[in-house]
Structures are given as structure tokens and as C-alpha cells.
Amino acid sequence: MISPQIHGYKVRKSRKRITKYVRYRFRGCVITPTPYDYCIIGAGIIGLTIAYELTKKQPKARLIIIDKEPSAAQHQTGRNSGVIHAGVYYTPGSLKATLCRKGVPAIINFCTKHQVAYEQCGKLIVAVDADEATRLDGLYTRAIENQIQVKKIDSTEMAKIEPNINGVSAILSPTTGIVDYAGICHKLVELLTAKGVIFQFSTTVINLHESPDEAVIETNQGTIKAAQLIVCAGLQADRLADMMGMADDFRIVPFRGEYFRLAEKHNTIVNHLIYPVPKPGLPFLGVHLTKMVGGYTTVGPNAVLSLGREDYQRSFFEPVDTWRTISYPGFWKLMNRFKLAGLSELKRSLSKSAYMKEVHRYCTTISVDDLEPYRTGIRAMAVDPKGNMIDDFLIKKTARSLHVCNAPSPAATSSFAIADHLFEKGYL
Ligand SMILES: Cc1cc2nc3c(=O)[nH]c(=O)nc-3n(C[C@H](O)[C@H](O)[C@H](O)COP(=O)(O)OP(=O)(O)OC[C@H]3O[C@@H](n4cnc5c(N)ncnc54)[C@H](O)[C@@H]3O)c2cc1C
């Protein structure tokens, strides 16, 4: 029989041996006590491209992606214009300007490698009067500053390349293209699943917090823990940032973008995408004619304040979202500044002929009868407490989390470049 003292001594000795062995065996390894190294919230194009970049940079990382919808790209990413923007409009030096320019070849490389349909059909920005022609000159200068390939076109040349479009002058951006962003996302889900990334759809995040060791994600399906959290929640970005006390300086205000599909006889009405000259001070590009990769043409989107963030049917009954918007002082300051533009947009939303007038400024070949129903998109626009729309991409970080707080257009174009930027700048 072994005495208790000797037994205790042996146990302590073997514990010491085990500890020594574990230290030796796992020397140099970071032992993560949490089940996942990374958790990404949001299976839109931003969340998925970050995941794609992560699996390239850290192939052994344990990664879970969660989304409240049953599949990827159900919100902004699957409801946009499908344009690969060249980067003409953006403030030189801004993240938008830099990452859009870098994003174009990245998107095209991905589509070529993985057989996702795209086309670099080019785009014309058309001025219809002298005032717009002057502003168009300003855009031309900006495009050059942004190192974007552009060409000035006069009305004679415009008539040759776009017989159905009228204007006094235009800028041709030959590198602008079209793609199906939802198609890119479905391909990314396929590739990431093959690499062992876990997808948990139909899972809504209801609370977030972090400790020095991990991020804790509470969902309607239980709690998930990860060493690092990456939030790419688009229209809900401020709500998720708020859960971690990080949304004091912005709130998402939703703007509907209503489209129509043109009657089939107009599938080839244009050879390029046709955009108006944007109205001064407004962040939206104006109602445009867009060739789609499916072979048809759409017209839109307008930009109307939306009461619900995901209210695509315009039910007008979204009390929680509505309260969140109208209880924000920055919203009223924004409305005050843009009340006339807002009322004109509302008029165009309620009347097809008012909508059509906007298109007739540069294309008189189509009529109200050619407008067929098409999906609506809702843009997430971050607004600061003073009522300024936050123009550039906005990224925030805590020790255990990274939040993509503002990723408006051209974020889909820039998505692969945004993901790359996060690594380059040491955010991840
Ligand atoms: C009308 C319109 C036209 C546009 N046109 C273009 C264009 O032509 N070219 C271009 O480059 N960009 C365009 N954009 C912008 C582009 O679509 C967006 O910048 C981009 O899709 C943003 O992607 P995202 O992943 O951040 O957001 P989203 O695609 O909105 O994805 C966010 C995801 O987060 C999930 N989520 C949110 N909250 C939760 C929660 N609590 N729990 C779990 N999941 C949650 C959502 O379900 C969603 O899947 C357009 C946008 C709109 C709306």
C-alpha cells in the first residue's frame, strides 16, 4: 500500500511531466481555446471576399460564416445594378477611389478563373445641356486624377456608337463592366465550403460582446465563440456595431433603389451602360440604363428614403426601423439639406411617368409601357450626427472585432480589394 504522501508526490510528478511534454509538443503554437479562429457575420460580397482572402492567407484557420438569411447575397449584393465601376467619380486618394481601381482587375481575374459571366461593355456618362457638359468636364479631370482610362466624345460620335441616346457630349469609360454579384457569391460559397469553412445560415445575431480572450456571438441558434469577429452586416451594420458600443458617430439610413426591366424588344437598345451626369452634392449616380449579364436591360435605380431597411415590397410598416431612423438627429439634418431632392425622388417613385421623364432626358426611344417590374434594392447609407452622408468606406476595430460599418457603392466592385486592404493595413 502506498502512503498518501508518496501517492501525492507521484501525482504531482506525473502532472509536471505531462505539462513539460505539452509545452514541448506544442512549442511555438498559439493554442486557441475558442472553437473558431474567425467568425464572419454577413454572407454578402464583403463577408465572403474577406473569408476568401483569409483562407488564402491562413489556410489552417477555423472559420465560420453566419447569416440570418437562408442563403448568400440576399440583400444589397443580390439587389444591385451589377456594374463593375471603373472608378471615375470618387474623391482622389479616398479608399473608394483606390480600392475601386484595384478591385476591377481583381473581380475580372476571379470571374475568368472561376467561369463567372462578366462583360467589359464600357459606359457613357451623357451630358444633355451646357451646364451638365461643364460638370462632365470636371468628372473627366477627376477620372484622370484617379488614373482611370476615359475618352471625351462629342454628339456626332455619340450618335454613331449609341444611336438611341441624345446628348451634347459624353465621357466614355471603356473599362466599366457588368457582372452578377450574387453569382460571384454563390461561387465563393462553393469554394469556401470545399476548403472546410462552416456556413451557418438562418442564424440571426442578437447580441455581441468580447472579453480579452474571445468574441462572443449570441444568436437565435445559440452562442458562438471565436478568437476574432468580423462584422459585414450591410444594412444592419450600425445595429451590430451598437452591440459593442461602436456606433456613436454614425447610423445607417436606408435608401430604396427602384428598377424596371425594359421590354424584351429593347434588350439591345444600348451598346454601353448609359449614365446621366450626377446631380451636384448627391451621392447617388442617377437613373441609368444598364445592360445585364442575362442579356436584358434595366433602368434605375432612383433613391427614395425607405422606412424599412429590408422592406422590398414597400409595406410602409416597419415601426422598429422607422423609429431608429427618425429618432436620430442626424437624419433630420440630412432631410433638411436634401428636402427638395428627396421630394422629387418621392414623386418619381410614385409616378411612372415622372420616373420616365428622367430617362427621356437622354433616351426618348422608350415609353412608360416598356417598363416591366424588376427587383428593388435598398442601400445602406451611413450618416453622421451632423447629417452628413459618410462618403468613404468606414472600418472600425476593437481588440477582438472588426466592423465594416459603411460599404456603399462601389463596394461590390471593390470587394476583393477591400479584403486585401484589411490584411495590408494590419486590421487582420
Ligand atoms: C440599389 C443598389 C445598387 C448598387 N449598385 C452597385 C453597383 O452597380 N456596383 C457596385 O460596386 N456596388 C453597387 N451597390 C453597392 C453594393 O451592392 C454594396 O456595396 C455591397 O453589396 C455591400 O455588400 P455587403 O456584404 O457589405 O452587404 P450585404 O450584401 O447587404 O450583406 C450583408 C449581410 O449581412 C447579413 N446580416 C445583417 N444583419 C445580420 C444579423 N443580425 N445576423 C446575421 N446576419 C446578418 C444580411 O443578411 C446580409 O446577407 C449597389 C447597392 C444597391 C443597394
Q: What is the Cα–Cα distance from 170 to 77, expressed in whole angstroms?
A: 29
Candidates 164, 191, 186, 155; CA nearest to 53 is: 191
Placement of cell 489552417 in the chain: 60
Question: How much distance in Å is there from the Cα of 152 to the middle of ligand 1?
Answer: 33
- Where are the domain boundaries for CATH 3.30.9 in the chain? 252-387
Give the pairing of strands 401-406 and 222-231.
parallel
One-letter amino acid for residue 295 of the chain: G
> Dihedral of the CA atoms 229, 233, 238, 240 (nearest 10)?
-40
pLDDT reported for residue 32: 46
- For residue 59, report the phi and psi dihedrals to the nearest 5 degrees: -60, -20
The one-character DSSP state at 389 is B
**Cross-strand bridge partners of residue 224:** 217
Residue owning the nearest CA to atom 52 of ligand 1: 80
Neighbours of 81 (CB within 10 A): 20
pLDDT digits (tens, 9 = 90+) for 290-312: 999 999 999 999 999 999 999 99
Is there an atom of ligand 1 within 6 Å of 288 CB? no
Identify which of 75, 110, 201 to mutate to test ligand 1's pocket (most ligand atoms within 8 A of the CB): 75
pLDDT given for residue 284 in this prediction: 85
- Ligand 1 touching residue 189 (CB < 6 A): no
Atom of ligand 1 nearest to the CA of 48: 25
Angle (CA) 195 198 203, round 5°: 155
Rounded to the nearest angstrom, the distance between the alpha carbon of 9 and the centre of ligand 1 is 62
Supply the pLDDT for residue 317. Answer: 75
Atom of ligand 1 at shortest range from CA of 379: 53
CATH annotation of 252-387: 3.30.9
Ligand 1 lined by 75 (C-beta under 6 Å): yes
Scan for cell 458600443, then name that residue: 245
Kindly tell me the sign of the dihedral angle through the C-alpha atoms of 295, 300, 301, 305.
Answer: negative
pLDDT at 29: 44
210 membership: H or E segment, kind and range: strand 205-210
Contact 310, 317 (CB under 8 A): no
Q: Are 105 and 417 in contact, with CB atoms under 8 Å apart?
A: no
**pLDDT tens-place values along the chain, 428 residues long:** 444 454 555 545 555 665 555 455 445 444 445 799 999 999 999 999 999 999 999 999 999 999 999 999 999 999 999 999 999 999 999 999 999 999 999 999 999 999 999 999 999 999 999 999 999 999 999 999 999 999 999 999 999 999 999 999 999 999 999 999 999 999 999 999 999 999 999 999 999 999 999 999 999 999 999 999 999 999 999 999 999 999 999 999 999 999 999 999 999 999 999 999 998 877 788 899 999 999 999 999 999 999 999 999 888 778 999 999 999 999 999 999 988 888 888 888 888 999 999 999 999 999 999 999 999 999 999 999 999 999 999 999 999 999 999 999 999 999 999 999 999 999 99
CA of 412 to the centre of ligand 1 (A): 8
Return the ∠ at Cα 411 (arms to 410 and 414), rounded to 5°.
90
**What are the beta bridge partners of residue 169?**
127, 154
Instruction: Please state, in angstroms and rounded to a whole number, the distance separating the CA atoms of residues 97 and 45.
Output: 19
CATH 3.50.50.60 segments of the chain: 32-119+176-250+390-428
Q: Given this model, what pLDDT does residue 17 score?
A: 64
pLDDT of residue 2: 46
Query: Which residue carries 457588368 as its cell?
Result: 178
Measure the CA–CA gap between 400 and 397, rounded to whole angstroms: 8
| CA 77 – ligand 1 centroid, Å | 4
Q: Are 96 and 116 in contact (CB under 8 A)?
A: no
Q: Which residues contact 368 (CB under 8 A, 6 or more apart)?
A: 352, 353, 356
Q: What's domain 32-119+176-250+390-428's superfamily in CATH?
A: FAD/NAD(P)-binding domain (3.50.50.60)
